[in-house]
């Protein structure tokens, strides 16, 4: 094994782009790359450490000795240290030993661009490459229509470590096992997409993956990088898209991570008012620094390009947008215009979305954003942030609040269930019932429902039916589809044994059918972000706690009439207004016995009469099932 040989993957143009924040494929340059120089195989290393006066590669190949393999600093003031070390390669462990210009500080860091890391609590990077051969050509060729804004989105949110476990071995499933079990389950349940809580490497299990240290490495908890590619590939081969949770908002201060990387505030903002997150005790990226912007945008592109992801759900966007987020007076400073907006973060998000959609027009970015910040999901050329969709947090809070009330009192809270339609088309909204709603004492979704057991399950089916007929795309956290009783436990497994019992088994059958109904009825998604796709019949019948509306697609003959009865009372004859003289045919009912309901349905065609009602020229009388949603075709 020889000394470091001068070698570079960077052109002058690469360096200029990096320094200006416009290099969006940095993973092809930085990190460790197995290559051959002068006929000798080895590994090229490159790391950004502008405040260093010495950077060495230490690893299992040299007993972690400092100073033996010193990288060379580039002459161009880029702060890039690089070099080729012969005869080391795939599987070797390594870190960077960085001697800082800052008062003799020495740090030992994992590679920010490593493709694989050691299993926590170990912290070294692993030299890695893979030659995985993708088999998802058909999906990739056609995915534009599957990921389009006028396509159905029913997303299954999954935490891989606790979805299902091998109880006898007390371990999570591997990527290889998930490629079989998770994929077949999601396909059986008719979901269109899977969203994975962060799978980038993270040191601390209770963070659920939201405190990242290995931004370019799928966590080794479940297997090798190529095995994660197999999981993605299998999803695609079965017609299922993949959305990855992505966290550009903050990162932990672990010694081996990005914090104080070269003895200076390199990745985090040096001003604590902008660089420290008080809620999560973590560090905030410096969006004002060009090289940091390039690091993050390159990372987003990496997962879309190298792992064929169909979308990125961007975590904690609200915390990025506002300088006063979770801060008291005196703990933040206004921007140059005297406002509270973080102008650098806003600029970064716009640049991110522009590059993503330029390079991958067939994917979506989705903002988890909880404020009224305007035009989050509008294009940047119109003044928006450029996301494809935004989580509808207001709908989620109001809906769960309403469903948590005893039906006896719902008549006094009609506005809670209808208010979301007042702003439903201001953004491209995704309706989330996510992991955040089933932890920290909030109870499971089923556990929030009032009444006896029958009523709780009927309420749950009604909630899901209302969710799927409300404008917007859908997201549900794992386990909620069969009525998980307990709150989510990241250390355990979903309670699959509940499916031995009828209420849970029938709830699962209901959700499976609901997904299929949603996917096969264009009126529920073709105009999901436009007020042209929705028309109220009645929103103010608070006395009966009933709402009714029409969902519309591109073809009038495919329109649907939806009626929700939020009380356990059966209404044998309920009058609704209709715009045309049609016959109503019931096509979906949450109260069917096969779903655990009472079997109150409309079995015959119902003819509309020329009798104005609800401000419409025609009307029909229908039967309403208890705590049920009834959906009709207009024949």
- By annotation, the residues acting in catalysis are 315, 368
The whole-angstrom separation of Cα 611 and Cα 321 is 52
Helices (H), 334-431: 343-359, 393-403, 414-418
Residue 550 and residue 559 in contact, taking contact as beta carbons nearer than 8 Å: yes
Q: How many CB atoms are located within 10 Å of the residue 55 CB?
A: 26
Task: Please choose, from the candidates 327, 325, 323, the residue with its C-alpha nearest in 3D space to the C-alpha of residue 341.
Answer: 323
Secondary-structure breakdown of the chain: helix, strand, coil percentages, each rounded to the nearest 5: 30, 25, 45
Residue 459 and residue 404 in contact, taking contact as beta carbons nearer than 8 Å: no
Where b means 16+ CB within 10 Å and e means fewer, 529-545 reads beeebbeebbbebbebb
Ramachandran assignment for 597, one of left (phi > 0), alpha (psi -120 to 50 degrees), beta (any other): beta
Residue 211 and residue 109 in contact, taking contact as beta carbons nearer than 8 Å: no
The whole-angstrom separation of Cα 322 and Cα 303 is 27
Residue 201 and residue 221 in contact, taking contact as beta carbons nearer than 8 Å: no
The whole-angstrom separation of Cα 610 and Cα 555 is 24
Residue 194 and residue 248 in contact, taking contact as beta carbons nearer than 8 Å: no
Residue 235 and residue 178 in contact, taking contact as beta carbons nearer than 8 Å: no
Q: Is 372 helix (H, G, I), strand (E, B) or coil?
A: coil
| Strands 40-48 and 80-86, bridge-based pairing | antiparallel
The Cα diameter of the chain in Å comes to: 92
Q: Is 561 helix (H, G, I), strand (E, B) or coil?
A: strand
Residue 542 and residue 405 in contact, taking contact as beta carbons nearer than 8 Å: no
Residue 58 and residue 103 in contact, taking contact as beta carbons nearer than 8 Å: no
Q: Is 569 helix (H, G, I), strand (E, B) or coil?
A: coil
Helices (H), 189-264: 225-237
The whole-angstrom separation of Cα 106 and Cα 52 is 9
Q: Is 490 helix (H, G, I), strand (E, B) or coil?
A: coil
Query: What stretch of H or E contains 538?
Result: strand 534-541
- Tell me the CA distances in angstroms from 396 to 152, 547, 562, one per residue in order: 19, 18, 20
Residue 266 and residue 107 in contact, taking contact as beta carbons nearer than 8 Å: no
- The number of CA neighbours under 13 Å toward the Cβ of 455 is 17
Residue 52 and residue 74 in contact, taking contact as beta carbons nearer than 8 Å: no
Give φ, ψ of 519 to 5 degrees.
-65, -25
- Tell me the CA distances in angstroms from 135 to 6, 65, 132, 191, 222, one per residue in order: 38, 43, 10, 21, 21
């Amino acid at each position: 094994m020889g000394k470091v040989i001068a070698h570079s993957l960077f052109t002058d143009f690469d360096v200029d782009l990096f320094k200006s924040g416009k290099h969006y494929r940095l993973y092809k340059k930085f990190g460790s790359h197995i290559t051959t120089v002068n006929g000798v195989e080895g590994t090229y290393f490159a790391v950004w450490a502008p405040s260093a006066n010495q950077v060495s590669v230490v690893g299992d190949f040299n007993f972690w000795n400092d100073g033996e393999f010193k990288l060379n600093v580039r002459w161009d003031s880029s702060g890039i240290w690089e070099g080729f070390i012969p005869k080391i390669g795939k599987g070797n462990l390594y870190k960077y030993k960085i001697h800082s210009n800052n008062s003799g500080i020495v740090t030992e860091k994992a590679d920010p661009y490593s493709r694989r890391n050691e299993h926590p609590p170990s912290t070294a990077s692993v030299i890695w490459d893979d030659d995985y051969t993708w088999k998802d050509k058909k999906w990739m060729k056609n995915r534009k229509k599957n990921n389009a804004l006028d396509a159905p989105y029913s997303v299954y949110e999954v935490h891989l470590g606790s979805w299902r476990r091998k109880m006898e071995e007390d371990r999570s499933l591997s990527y290889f096992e998930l490629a079989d079990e998770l994929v077949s389950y999601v396909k059986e349940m008719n979901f269109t997409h899977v969203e994975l809580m962060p799978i980038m490497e993270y040191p601390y299990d209770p963070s659920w993956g939201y405190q990242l240290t290995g931004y370019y490495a799928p966590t080794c908890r479940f297997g090798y990088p190529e095995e994660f590619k197999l999981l993605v590939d299998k999803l695609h081969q079965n017609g299922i898209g993949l959305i990855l949770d992505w966290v550009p908002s903050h990162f932990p201060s672990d010694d081996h991570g990005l914090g104080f990387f070269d003895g200076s505030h390199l990745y985090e903002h040096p001003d604590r008012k902008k660089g420290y997150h008080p809620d999560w005790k973590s560090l905030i990226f410096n969006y004002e620094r060009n090289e940091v912007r390039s690091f993050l945008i390159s990372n987003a592109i990496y997962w879309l390009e190298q792992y064929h992801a169909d979308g990125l759900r961007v975590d904690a966007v609200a915390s990025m947008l506002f300088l006063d987020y979770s801060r008291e007076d005196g703990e933040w400073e206004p921007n140059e215009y005297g406002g509270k907006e973080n102008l650098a973060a806003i600029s970064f998000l716009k640049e991110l979305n522009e590059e993503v959609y330029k390079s991958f027009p067939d994917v979506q970015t989705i903002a988890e954003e909880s404020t009224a910040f305007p035009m989050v999901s509008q294009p940047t050329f119109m003044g928006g942030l450029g996301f494809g969709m935004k989580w509808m947090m207001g709908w989620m809070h109001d809906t769960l609040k309403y469903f948590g009330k005893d039906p006896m009192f719902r008549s006094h809270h009609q506005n809670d269930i209808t208010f979301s339609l007042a702003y439903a088309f201001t953004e491209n909204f995704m309706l989330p019932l996510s992991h955040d709603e089933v932890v920290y004492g909030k109870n499971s979704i089923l556990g929030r429902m009032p009444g006896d057991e029958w009523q709780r399950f009927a309420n749950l089916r009604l909630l899901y039916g209302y969710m799927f007929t409300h404008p917007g795309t859908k997201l549900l956290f794992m386990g909620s589809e069969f009525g998980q009783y307990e709150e989510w436990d990241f250390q355990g497994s979903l309670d699959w044994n509940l499916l031995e019992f009828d209420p849970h088994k029938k709830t699962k059958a209901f959700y499976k059918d609901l997904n299929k109904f949603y996917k096969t009825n264009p009126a529920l998604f073709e105009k999901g972000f436009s007020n042209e796709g929705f028309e109220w019949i009645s929103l103010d019948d608070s006395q009966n706690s009933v709402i009714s509306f029409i969902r519309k697609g591109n073809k009038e003959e495919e329109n649907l009439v939806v009626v929700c009865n939020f009380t356990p009372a059966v209404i044998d004859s309920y009058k609704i207004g209709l715009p045309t003289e049609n016959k109503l045919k019931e096509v979906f009912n949450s109260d069917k016995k096969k779903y655990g309901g009472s079997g109150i349905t409309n079995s015959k065609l119902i003819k509309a009469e020329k009798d104005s009602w609800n401000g419409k020229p025609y009307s029909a009388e229908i039967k309403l099932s208890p705590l049920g949603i009834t959906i009709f075709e207009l024949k």
